[in-house]
Amino acid sequence: MSDRDFHDAPSSGEEPGAGRASKRSAELEAERRRRRAQFLRDLAEARELRDRVQPRRAKTARLRHAMRMRTFRW
């Protein structure tokens, strides 16, 4: 029996309140996802602002990225 099989199997002495723990962990996971989504939105907004404020740098970054994509080998 592998360790994965052993840890996935529920124990025979499982407590009756174990459902609350999984609900709590699901809430924590949802909160983490909300915070991550907000962070990514803020990051995208900051990039857009930087591109507007520094158009020359943004243009060279776009050209550099295009060159990398053209020379990338699958």
One DSSP character per residue, 35-71 reads: HHHHHHHHHHHHHHHHHHH-HHHHHHHHHHHHHHHHH
pLDDT score of 64: 94
Residues 19-70 pLDDT 10s: 677 888 989 999 999 999 999 999 999 999 998 999 899 899 999 999 999 9
Q: Please say if the pLDDT value at position 6 is more than 60.
A: no
Q: What is the mean pLDDT of residues 4-20?
A: 55
This prediction's pTM: 0.52
Q: Does residue 73 have a pLDDT over 60?
A: yes
Q: Are 58 and 51 in contact (CB under 8 A)?
A: yes
* pLDDT in the model for residue 33: 96
